[in-house]
Each structure stands twice: as C-alpha cells, then as structure tokens.
Chain A
Amino acid sequence: MKPRHQRLGLVLLGLLSLGVGAWFVLSAFQQNLVFFFTPTQVNQGEAPAAKRFRIGGMVEAGSLKRQPDGLTHSFVVTDMAQRVTVQYKGLLPDLFQEGKGVVAQGRLDADRRFVADEVLAKHDENYMPPEAAHALKQAQAARAQASGAQP
C-alpha cells in the first residue's frame, strides 16, 4: 500500500468514526436531557409520566413531614398556584428549608406523587434556584393575566 492510499484510508476511517461518534453523542444527549416543569404544568398533565424531570418552586411552610424511619421525607412544592407533593428518601441538603426555594429531580408515581431521587443543594442562603424563581414568576404571570381578564 502506498503512503497515499494509507492516508486516504486514515481519512476515511476518521470520517467514519466521526460520524458514528456524532450519532452516538447526540443520541446520548437526547436521552439524558432532563426537562423542567412548574407545579402548575405538572398538575395540568404536561409533565411526562415515564421520564425523569425536574420540578421547582417553594417548599410550602408546614408541609415537611418525616416518616418513622427518619429518612423518608415528604413536602409540598408550590408555585403559589398549584401544589405537588414530593417524596424523597435520604438526607436533605443543608439549605433545604420550608418557605425557601427548592429543585427536585425524579419522576411521578402512579398516584401522581413526585418521587425525587435528588433534592438540589444550593450554596447560599439568599440564593433562589433559577428554576424555582421561574416557576413562581410563571404562576404570578398567569394569575395577573387571569385577574386582568376578568373585570
């Protein structure tokens, strides 16, 4: 084989592997996107039933309950319009508090309860997770629109 042919082979092999690689990367990307939904969207049935997604909002004051095993928690995430009950087994992050913003990742179970496998820890007491802020803003905008339409 001449070096020229060798190089041609190398280039073709490179292109081929690049194509396969790109296909593989993009499919992995698509499979692992996690979408975000507000409690309102979840209760309107917009969230997928089978896929993992994120939900965000405020932890409703007084809603945090601990099961007798000491590890399973349930609390209500609200955007001040709709409420979704979240269940989570494990240690809650340091900055998890009632009345503060929270983002949880998981999926809906058969009773349309959100079973979280991850509750996100944030790093600053003044900090509101952007997703949670977004959920509150959406609900507020919807309310403003509704009250504006009525009179």
Chain B
Amino acid sequence: MTPELGQIALILALGLAALLGTLSLWGAWRQDARWMALARPLAAGQFAFVALAFALLVHAFVVKDFSVAYVAHNANSLLPLPYRVAATWGGHEGSLLLWQLMLAGWTLAVARFSRQLPPDVVARVLGVLGLVGVGFLSFTLLTSNPFDRSLPAPADGRDLNPLLQDPGMVFHPPLLYMGYVGFSVAFAFAIAALISGRLDATWARWTRPWTLAAWAFLTLGILLGSFWAYYELGWGGWWFWDAVENASFMPWLVGTALVHSLSVSEKRDSFKHWTVLLAILAFSLSLLGTFLVRSGVLSSVHAFASDPRRGLFILAFLVVVIGGSLGLYAWRASAVAAPHAADGVHAPRVRFAAWSRESLLLLNNVFLLVTAGTVLLGTLYPLALDAFGLGKISVGPPYFEAVFVPLMVPVLVLMVFGPVVAWQRGSWSQAWQTLRAPALLAVALAGAVAVVARASLGVALGLLLSLWIVLGTLQLLRRRWVAVPGQPTWLARARALPLGLWGMAAAHLGVGVFVAGVTLVKGLEHAQDASLKEGDHVVLAGHDFHFVSLAKGKGANYISARATFEVTRDGRHVATLHPEKRLYLVQRMPMTEAAIDRGFTRDLYVSLGEASPDGAWGVRVQVKPFMGWVWAGCLWMALGGGLAAADRRYRLRARSTRGVAGHPSAANPSAASSPQAPGLLPPPHPVQP
C-alpha cells in the first residue's frame, strides 16, 4: 500500500509545483498580493509531499519490500541497513527522487529565508523553481517511477552494486546534488531579474549567499566522490578526467566564476549581465551533467538508465531550459540594461582601469570559463562523434592535463592580487608594496626546498605557486587585521572583520594547500606492482612492505581474502595494512578493497590483484606523498564558501535600497562595500552616454 501512497504524494507534489510555477509568476506579473502570497505555502506543500514520497521509498527499502521493482533491483535481504537506506539513491529512479527532494528543499529554504525580500521577487524566484520542479517531477512520473510494482514479487532482490556498498554512498550523492540543485536558486534569481527587468546590486546581494552555499556543497560533493574513488576503485587514482567527473566539474568551474562575478555585481553594481549569464550557464551545466550521467549516454557506475525515452526527455528538458533562458536573456537583457530609463535617469556606467580589482576578477572569469569550455570540448566531442556515427574515440587525461594546468596557472597567480588591488583603479606600486614580502619569501622557500630535496622544475614551480597563494592570502589577512580599529581582544578583532573576508581567505588558502598537495603527490609518488607470496617483501621509497599472511573472511553478503602487510621504515614499524579481495555473492562480483595508512605527509596504499595457481598474489603498493593535503585543500575551499554564505550582511534588510513601492532605486554600491574595502574610491559618477 505504501508505494501507492508514495506515487500519490508525487502526483500531488507535481500539482503543487505546477500551481507554484503558474500562480506566483502570474501574481508577480499582475502585482497581485493575494496570488503572490500563495508562493510560500505552495513551496512548503511541494516539499512536504516530495519528502513524504522520499520517506516512503526509504521505508520500502528498510522493510525490504521487493514487490517494488526499484527496491528489488537495488537491494537484497542480506544488505545491511545503512546501505539499504543509501540504496534509495543507488539507482536511476531513486536518485532522481533525491534530486527532487533537494530541489524542493532549496525551494522551501528560499521561501523560509527570504523575509527581507520584496514579495514580487520572492514570488518570481519561487515560481521559476516551481517550474523546474514541474520538469523533474513529470520526468519521474512519466519515465522513471520508483514506485512501480513488479508482481509477483521476487523472493529476493538483486542487491546494490558492490562498488556502491560504502559509506561514500551515504554522503557523496546527497552532497553533490545539494550543489547541483543549489545552482537552481541562482538560476531562478537570474530568470526573475530578467522577467522583472530589475537587476541591481541588491539583486546580487540576495543571490550571493545562495550561490555560495550551493558552491560549497558542490565542492564537498566532488571532494567526496574523488575521495571515494581513491580508496574504492583500488588503483590509487583520485581524478580520472572521466566524463562523469567532468560533468560535475564544469558546473563547479562556472559556479566559481559566478561567485566571483557576483561580488563585482554586489559591490560595484557592475558585470550584472555577465553574472546573469553565468547563473544560467551554471545551472544549465548542472542539468547537462544530470543528462550525461543519468541518461545512459555515458557508461559508468553512475549510469543506470538505458531507456531511450529517459534520455530523450532530459534532452528535451535541457533544450527547453537552456534555450528558453538564453532566449529570455537575449530578449530582455537590453531592457534590463537601463533600469531607470523610465525616470529619465540613465544608469551609471561603472568604468574601471586595466589594473583594478574588476579587471582581475574579469580575468578570473574568462580563464575559468575557457577552462570549462575545454573540459566541455573533451567531454562532448567523443559523444558527438559517436552519435553521428563518425567513429569511436576517447580523450584521455593527457589532453585535460595539458590544457587545464596552463589555464589555471594565471588564475592562481592573479588570485592573490585580486583582494589586494583596489576597485576601479588600483596601483601597481601599492600592490607590490603589500605583496613584496610574501612573494620574496615564497621564492626563497620554494627555491630552498627545490635545492635541498632536488625537486624537479615542475614541483618547484608548483610549490612556488602554492606558497605564493598561502603567504599572499595570509598577508592580506594580516593587513586587514591590523587595520581593525582598537578592539580589546583577539576574538573581538576577529569578529570585527566580516565573515565574507574570512570565507574568501579560507577558500583561497584551501586552493594553496590543494595546489601543494597535487604538486607533491603528482611529482613524488611511487607505485610498484609485484607478485608476492606470504613472507615476501617489497621495498618502495624507503618503506618495506612485508606480506605477512593471508586469511579467509566473511562479511554480511560477501566472502573475502584478507592479507596482512607490515610496513617498516629503517627497521621501525610504521603501519599494519589489511587489503582485501572480496567476492560479493549475489552479483558474483569480485572487488578490491585497498588498505590505506593515511598520514600528514604521505599515504601508504596497498591493493590486492588476483592469485596465481602457485599461491602468489599480484600486489600493488604505492607511496603517495601529501595526498591528504588534496582533501584538506578542498575542505578549506568548501569551508570558505560556507563562511562567506553565512555573512550577516546578506541577511540584513536592505532598507536603503528600497525606494517607494514599485520604484526601487538603484542601490548605492559603495554603501555595501565601504566597511570591507578600505582602498575604495568614491562612488562612481554617472557617465553620460
């Protein structure tokens, strides 16, 4: 009975989403307060029903209701409970439902935390989110219903793909989806601005925290996916430039550009059209990612569906959303360009010099976007060629690495200047004065390390870059810290600085740590394959790996061979590792469970291959220096995004920006930014065209 209830809940949610998508937009169009007031309750209702449907699906997994086809396909009576719950999003239908849960959740959050926004803005934003919800809910109901029964019920289920039976499954998909779907809010704000024709610094201030939060979640989601692949796939790789990874990385790149361009829109009332376009692009790439991953176009552990109707539906949805929003952009952007033309006053056009924070952020945006474009090329070209029957090719990591690194280096060099250089017109000598010490220190340290450790040129340059970012960012923090007018305690001083600054600093430091980690692990890692019998040794990078013994083991739904390795260095015991080879019984699938000893300066990684008839095992041992720094860097970035999103200034009621009802005046950009930017010039003068 409960699965049918779930289906009804989904249908009701679709109805509410349709009402939300029509009534509130209509109300905002007619400026009718009664219609607009419906937006919030409708958003809450949509969330309630989607959450109910989701809970019922989880329930079906928990009670092992194998009469539900989706449950039978993705679970088994032997599957432990936490994985049965995670199996809810282990397949196509359930992961779509998770998408919807996230979307409804973000919609509800916008409804809940938008008290300070004008009602017509809220109604439009929620309306657009409702329309997106209609698209996904009808997709689910028409092509991928998770509640379909298969009667008579099978005695037992087919089990979850053993690769997915991992704690990573519990966290990676929800976090990644939070990020993907979170960009729908920025998208909705952008569409709302295009519809209303109102696009000012206040708009950017409303959009920013949502975008930052989505970006932080996406960062965490990608991090967890990579972390999971690192220990689960058993080969010690952590980023493969696989199409599925690229699908999540492209929205991240554009999202990063969006976060930065939003800061210009907010602080300087500039770059606004560009920002709107980026918001549309970021969400479009999220949808494209969903399409690539979920439609079965790509074959991977992430692709479940091979039903062509599904692919077609997502493709059509993609065309409608991207085509529609870009069309709206083309049609409305010029009207939005002169928001006060009706009053006979021209919008101030903000000019900036070649060396200014605006220019630096513009460069950041251009490089990030070009990078996203190159990733898109490498991801879509093989698919397109195949679709047109022109041959099968693949584009491997060498392409992405050859292109990605040179494109990122300028971004990394310039990102230290960005926060130091003044808006509108910066001064070279001032920037140099501020950053001279960190620059010289970075060169000295990187040079010293390169000479002492005899590092290659690549490693030395990578370290130089990392030190430049970390030291430069610390210098910026120090400057701002000293500039805080007399506060008695450290804590008071720290709190006097805006959270947005702390967030930016944390994220930039994270980039520095990440660059150091990638440089060192890529430059200094060692790996060796060996064929070992019990008692054999293999020595790698000063570590002695001793294959002590092998034992048979048994888990809930698998049997295993479990090896014991003792690792010593200079005669001292370092770690005991237990790599495993498992055979999952239901799907008869072998799995390598690597054993990793994580450390601050290195990871030791052992994985088992297969056994030969003479009792020797194929073994891969790896020493990966500073691997943990890669994860730590990403965590810092996500933390930075979270801190910036929590900045109080975004939650303040923007009183000064709201004029007489219906005639909002342009926000004064300097009012918002003056506490944060000491080197700021007076507000820009209107320039007659």
The reply to whether the CB of A81 lies closer than 8 angstroms to some CB of chain B is no
On whether the beta carbons of A130 and B299 are closer than 8 Å, the reply is: yes
Q: Which residue of A lies closest to B406 (CB)?
A: A24
Instruction: Tell me, yes or no, whether B429 is within 8 Å of chain A by CB.
Output: no
Binary CB contact string for chain A from 26 to 39 against chain B (1 if under 8 A, 0 otherwise): 00110111111000
Residues in A with CB closer than 8 Å to B381 are 29
Once bound together, how far apart are the Cα atoms of A123 and B301, in whole Å? 5
CB interface residues, A 128-147, toward B, < 8 Å: 129-131, 134
Contact A3 B589 (CB under 8 A): no
Selected interface stretch from B118-126, B257-265, B389-397: B389-397
- The answer to whether A32 touches B399, judged by C-beta atoms less than 8 angstroms apart, is yes
Binds A, one of B172-180, B370-378, B435-443, B554-562: B370-378
CB of A124 within 8 Å of the partner chain: yes
User: Total interface residues on A, using CB and 8 Å?
Assistant: 40
A61 partner residues in chain B, CB cutoff 8 A: none
Decide if A123 touches B530 in the complex (CB within 8 Å). Answer: no
In the complex where A36-B392, A127-B299 touch, is A28 in contact with B403 (Cβ < 8 A)? yes
Chain B 68-95 interface residues, beta-carbon cutoff 8 Å to A = none
In the complex, the chain B residue whose C-beta lies closest to that of A52 is B396
Q: Does B564 contact A (CB under 8 A)?
A: no
- Check if A80 is an interface residue, CB within 8 A of chain B: no
Within 8 A of B (CB), among A53-71: 54, 66, 69-71
| B4 in the interface (beta carbon within 8 A) | no
B359 at the interface (CB under 8 A from A): yes
Does the CB pair B378–A123 fall under 8 Å? no
B354 CB-CB contact with A under 8 Å: yes
* B264-321 interface with A by 8 A CB criterion: 299-301
Q: Mark B173-215, 1 if CB is under 8 A from A, else 0.
A: 0000000000000000000000000000000000000000000
From A6, A14, A89, A92, give the contact of B353 (CB < 8 A). A6
Cβ-defined contact, A124 with B392, below 8 A: no
- Shortest Cβ distance from residue B424 to the other chain A in the assembled complex, whole angstroms: 10
Q: Are B299 and A129 in contact (CB under 8 A)?
A: yes
Give the complex CA separation of A105 and B359 in angstroms. Answer: 44
The 8 Å CB contact of B529, one of A36, A54, A90, is A90
Give, as a whole number of angstroms, the nearest-CB distance from B667 to chain A: 24
The answer to whether A92 and B393 have CB atoms under 8 Å apart is: no
Query: Does B402 have its Cβ within 8 Å of any Cβ on chain A?
Result: yes
Q: Which one of B366, B394, B398 contacts A36 once the chains associate, using CB atoms below 8 Å?
A: B394
Dominant secondary structure at the B interface: mixed
Given contacts A90-B529, A94-B592, contact A7 B354 (CB under 8 A): yes
Residue of A nearest to B377 (CB): A29
Q: Would you call A25 and B374 a contact (CB within 8 A)? A: yes
**Contact (A35, B377) CB under 8 Å given A71-B529, A71-B530, A125-B589:** no
Residue of A nearest to B370 (CB): A21
List residues of chain B with CB within 8 A of the CB of A29: 377-378, 381, 395, 399, 403
B610 lies within 8 A of chain A by Cβ = yes
**Range of interface residues on B (Cβ < 8 Å):** 35 or more
Which among B40-48, B58-66, B465-473, B612-620 touches the partner chain?
B612-620
Given contacts A91-B618, A95-B589, contact A134 B392 (CB under 8 A): yes
Which of B392, B396, B607 interacts with A131 by CB under 8 Å? Answer: B392
Give chain B nearest CB distance to A134 CB in angstroms.
6
**Are B587 and A125 in contact (CB-based, < 8 A)?**
yes
B609 touches A36 (CB 8 A): no
Considering the complex, give the chain B residue whose CB is closest to the CB of A28: B402
Q: In the complex, how many angstroms separate the beta carbon of A143 from the nearest chain B beta carbon?
A: 20
Interface membership of A121, Cβ < 8 A: yes
A48 within 8 A of B: no
Residue from the list A21, A94, A122, A129 in contact with B407, Cβ < 8 A:
A21
Cα of A6 to Cα of B377 in the assembled complex, Å? 33
Q: Is the interface of A mostly helix, strand, loop or mixed?
A: mixed
Given A71-B529, A91-B620, A123-B163: A32 and B396 within 8 A (CB)? yes
Complex: chain B residue closest to A4, CB-CB = B351
Pair B609/A92 contact, Cβ less than 8 Å: yes
Docked CA distance A125–B235 (Å): 19
In the bound complex, do residue A92 and residue B610 qualify as a contact, i.e. CB atoms below 8 Å apart? yes
Q: Which residue, of B395, B402, B587, has the highest number of chain A Cβ atoms within 10 A? A: B402
Is B568 part of the binding interface, using a Cβ–Cβ cutoff of 8 Å?
no
Contact, CB under 8 Å: B391 / A121? no
Contact status B592-A32, CB under 8 Å: no
Q: Does A16 contact B (CB under 8 A)?
A: no
**Is B233 in the interface zone, CB < 8 Å from A?**
yes
Report if A33-B395 is in contact (Cβ < 8 Å); known contacts: A14-B366, A94-B590. yes
Instruction: Return the CB mask of A89-129 against B: 1 if under 8 Å, else 0.
Output: 11110110000000001000000000000000111110101
Partner of B354, one of A9, A69, A94: A9
**How far in angstroms is the closest Cβ of chain B from A78?**
18
- Measured in the bound complex, the distance between the Cα atoms of B233 and A71 in whole Å is 19
Q: Is A10 an interface residue (CB 8 A)?
A: yes
B234 near A: Cβ within 8 Å? yes
Write the residues of chain A forming the contact surface with B, with a CB cutoff of 8 angstroms: 3, 6-7, 9-10, 14, 18, 21, 24-25, 28-29, 31-36, 54, 66, 69-71, 89-92, 94-95, 105, 121-125, 127, 129-131, 134
| Pairs A–B under 8 Å by Cβ, sample size 16 | A3-B351, A3-B353, A7-B354, A21-B370, A25-B403, A29-B395, A31-B399, A33-B393, A33-B395, A33-B399, A36-B392, A36-B394, A70-B612, A70-B618, A90-B529, A121-B235
- Given A92-B609, A121-B233, 12 more A-B residue pairs with CB atoms under 8 Å apart are A9-B354, A10-B359, A14-B366, A18-B370, A28-B403, A36-B394, A71-B530, A91-B619, A91-B620, A92-B618, A123-B161, A127-B299
